[in-house]
Amino acid sequence: MNRYKSFGAALLFTIAALSAALPGAGGADTSYQMQVAIDLGGEGKAISPYIYGINQSGNQENYNKFTVNAIRQGGNRFTGYNWETNASNAGADWQHCSDNYLSDSSDPADCVQTLSREAAANGIGYKLATLQLAGYVAADKNGSVSEAETAPSDRWNQVVLTKGSAFADTPDLTDGNVYMDEYVHYIIEKLGNSQSASGIQGYSLDNEPALWHTSHSRLHPNPVTIAELHEKSVEMAKAVKALDPDAEIFGPALYGYTAYDHLADGDSSTEWETIQAEKGYHWYLDCYLDQMKQASDAAGTRLLDVLDIHYYSESARVGAEDRVQSVRTLYEAGFAENSWIGKWCQANVPILPTVQKSIDTYYPGTKLAISEYNYGGEDVSATIAQAEALGCYADANVYFASLWGGNEYMFSGINLYTNYDGKGGKFGDTLMPTKTADVSLASAYAAVNGTDQSVVTAMLTNKDMSRQETASIALNHSDKQYEAAAVYAVSGDSADIRLLDIVTDVSDNTVQVTLPAYSAAMIVITDDASDFDGLEIYDPSKVTERVECFEDPESMLNANGYVEIPITDPEHLKEIRLTADVTSSAGSSWAYAGCAVCINAKDAAGNKFWTSKGYQLSLGTGSKAKVEFDGTLENADKETVEAVIADGKVELQKWWDSSAAKEEEKEDIITVKYTRVEVVYSVSDTPSILRGDVNSDGEVTIADVVRLCRYVAEDTELTPAMTEEQLPCADVNGDSIVDSSDITLIARYLAHLVDAL
């Protein structure tokens, strides 16, 4: 009887929880109505297409996952990049290693030529490349540079910004110098100037100079000074403009808020205090803009086209709930985020209007770029933050923005704007005034194409983790009569953009759409309902995958000491999802572990080769990563070929790590302990079953939860017994076991916490 009493209590708890969550079940309402007002009679604002951008670093294998209009080649590696030999230095990111990480080619400027080819192959029009200003670049590819070999030494070549003599067709590799104006000349000769399709449109004045003394202490051991950065920026900009007057200059690529404020610590802080007291600047951005304006006036040409900053949200690191609110720091007066910025830096919040005020005051006409940003997250919170950020960038007149790194959820946040239907459907190019009643619950941005209001695209987010949202969208001051709306959204446990609904009951130019809990959606509203003819609404019953779960991966160590995961169906392998606890022996505030799924593969011709797929885990409990497979793998010649895993197993290996302590050159051991591995296989032939429909009545309801609870509890009074046809419906998560996890998943589905079974 004890077993049945426990079962009964659990069942009553489940039913009570669902009753409280489901609409019309006698409990609290699971939805709320959000009022959204789009003023189509208001003043439109042109949206720069270059805010939909990506950083090249780490994304070479991801071009098929996103649609973007701009790409940046930059990051820490490029501060120590030698264009003559393609050697580069990792700095504190990896043992100050000089190597062929960026390119193993001997062709000068191979990296920028690769950038041009990749951009052309993926339809990316705007290319931003980085020029080296820090003083030295890697002279070889011989591995780690010791502290004793700090520049100047034979491990480094000196950077000379302007050569002062004729450019060589082929750079001299023996003179110990690397000439930056010769680099720009070489690019133009190879690719054309900034106006050509293959050329480089923008040049960045290096990367994060305020961190040179920490990220690249072997080539620039002392903090950069305001005078040094100004002098180098002006000289480099003049050289570029002399060679390619139409190329745009981006600077100074500051790493974050502290650099906006006073550039760098150390001597530059004292220097800043003196300059600030003399000139009355609000923060360092004022100083930089004023100096570049004065230098431009003296040179007779604009030497700074785009003010370039990086932005990594401090509050987004706290967790998902803070992440979906984090973008508000950029645009909302009075909002205080959950971080040190929210506590101590409110004088500059909202940040983007404060930056724009500096531009308007000290160098009017300068454009704004955020060439690195990332709000974090490995779930829909990442999509929500990404979607709101792009809307915010459009509203704040940002000219260029490029996501650093990224995952499928972040890429979907971009694709909602650039390719929401997988067929090139885009957000409009003219932003219209749009308001929601409460941005803490939902944010909204809307656009049309030029002056054509026949189609309105509206980005909406639902930040509530548990409640669906009914959005009432009023299209005000338009002479159009709108007929229908299509809802494309990312929600639940998938990063896929899905067409969830087509609404045809539009009345008085007001559209009501339902958004799942925790979602980001592109609402496409048209004055011609036939625009949506032939579209197929997402049907969760037609989507299946099989998941094999390993709950104790650390018990699966092989003779090599690595976790070894069996792959039972290589031809249908879709992805491997990894969960791990990552710890730092030094107690670092941040740490990363670069890992790889190591594979013995076989191509279509039967040839065997070794390969790997990389992923990154971050400090903390339950760090997650995902590795995708599409039937192709990269072989030893770095060609992508049709291939499968040859020996039915893979190894999980850690290849590198970095942390706050290691950046300060202190000892730190970063440990990765896997707690869960899920191997996901696609199912090519979809069975005609409705997952979760345990009682075979054609729908998924609380009755199915009750029946499944009784089955799992081995209730012998279950009548009738579950049939062989019903068991696949009960195996909701596809792991070939019917247990309490299937009950939980159905319950989450009924409570609208996931949108598919």
**Residue 595: C-alpha distances to residues 99, 412, 454, 657 (Å):** 19, 24, 49, 9
Q: What Å distances lie between residue 245 and 184, 201, 261, 604, 721, CA to CA? A: 12, 11, 31, 50, 79
d(CA 182, CA 634) in angstroms, rounded, equals 35
Please return the burial class of 139, using the count of CB atoms within 10 Å of its CB with bins 0-12, 13-18 and 19+.
buried
Mind spelling out the 3-state secondary structure of 122-153?
CCCCEEEEEECCCCEEECCCCEECCHHHCCCC
- Cis check for the bond before 364: say yes or no (omega within 30 of 0): no
DSSP letter at 363 equals: S
Which among 350, 438, 407 is positioned nearest to 36, based on CA atoms? 438
Distant-in-sequence, close-in-space partners of 105: CB < 8 Å, separation ≥ 6: 86
* 352 dihedral zone (left: phi>0; alpha: psi -120 to 50; beta): alpha
Collapse the DSSP code of 600 into the 3-class scheme (helix H, G, I; strand E, B; otherwise coil) and give the result.
Answer: strand
**Nearby residues of 530 by Cβ (< 8 Å), 6 or more positions away:** none
Residue 439 is given by DSSP the state T
Q: Which residues, including other chains, have CB under 8 Å from residue 356's CB and lie 6 or more apart?
A: 368, 396, 397
How far is the first Cα of the chain from the last one, in angstroms, to the nearest whole number? 33
Output the CA–CA distances (angstroms, integers) from residue 51 to 314, 356, 489, in the order listed: 21, 16, 21
Query: In Å, how far are 204, 364, 548 from 47, measured between CA atoms?
Result: 22, 19, 45
d(CA 627, CA 614): 8
Least Cα distance to 520 among 397, 375, 630 occurs for 375
What sign has the CA pseudo-torsion 270, 275, 278, 282?
negative
Collapsed DSSP state (helix, strand, coil) of residue 158: strand
Please give the structure tokens belonging to residue 125. 């029009």
Task: Choose the catalytic residue: 84, 182, 208, 469.
Answer: 208
Give the strand pairing for 498-503 and 620-628.
Answer: unpaired
Please report, to the nearest 10 degrees, the dihedral formed by the alpha carbons of residues 681, 684, 687, 690 taken in order.
60
Other beta carbons within 10 angstroms of residue 670's beta carbon come to 23
Site of tokens 């890992």:
595
Task: Look up 208 and say whether it is catalytic.
Answer: yes
- Classify burial at 543, counting beta carbons within 10 Å of its beta carbon; exposed 0-12, middle 13-18, buried 19 or more: middle
Instruction: Write the DSSP assignment of 36-83 as a string of letters.
Output: EEEETTS--EEPPGGGSEEESTT-TT-GGG---SEEE--SGGGGG--T
- Going across the sheet that includes 468-476, the strands are 434-436, 31-39, 468-476, 510-515
Torsion sign over Cα 85, 86, 87, 91: positive
Q: What is the DSSP letter of 569?
A: -
Distance, in Å, from the CA atom of 110 to the CA atom of 103, rounded to the nearest integer, reads 7
- Of how many residues is the chain composed? 757
Give the residue numbers annotated as catalytic, written as ranges. 208
